[in-house]
Amino acid sequence: MTVEVAVTVNGQLRSAGVDARRTLADFLRHDLGLTGTHLGCEHGVCGSCTVLVDGASARSCLMLAVQAAGTEITTIEGLAVDGELNHLQQAMGDGHGFQCGFCTPGFMMTATELLRENPRPSEAQVREAISGNVCRCTGYESIVDGILRAAELIDE
């Protein structure tokens, strides 16, 4: 059964007709061509597919596209402002936050939510906040440092 789903993604109104069973992740990736969001487990554990739905982090593999109808969604493609890397991207680049890049979208969106809710998190708070995201390459320290550095940049 096909349903028409319209969402605002990274500030743009987008819509497509999709199967009701289509996940939000597949809708973003394959119907809207926003492949920056990655699928790492499709059962809600790895966090790679995390996007912001009305500002709140959500696993896009654990939502149907139709559930997101009418919401505002932010994906990793929406982080840079006018082609300029935002503070979080800048900090992650400076500090070599990531390696293979597959988990990256999930960490970036999770960190975006964290920094908005808690602009000066402690290291422990950062670790807790990203504990639902799995990275296999880095051992996490560079990601934690990147988020802490981003908080400083935002402050400056």
Question: What is the footprint of other proteins within residues 99-138 (CB under 8 A)?
Answer: 99-105, 108, 110, 113-114, 126-138
Residue 52, CA distances (Å) to 8, 72, 96, 138, 139 in order:
11, 8, 24, 24, 25
Min dist. Cβ of residue 15 to other proteins (A): 17
Query: Any idea which residue has 């554990």 for tokens?
Result: 45
Of residues 21-60, which lie at the interface with other proteins (CB under 8 A)?
A: 21-23, 26, 29-30, 34-48, 50, 53, 56-59
Residue closer to other proteins (CB basis): 16 or 66: 66
Asked if 14 and 20 count as a contact pair (C-beta separation under 8 A), the reply is no
What are phi and psi for residue 107, nearest 5 degrees? -65, -40
According to the binding rule CB under 8 A, does residue 20 interact with other proteins? yes
Asked if 62 interacts with other proteins (CB under 8 A), we say yes
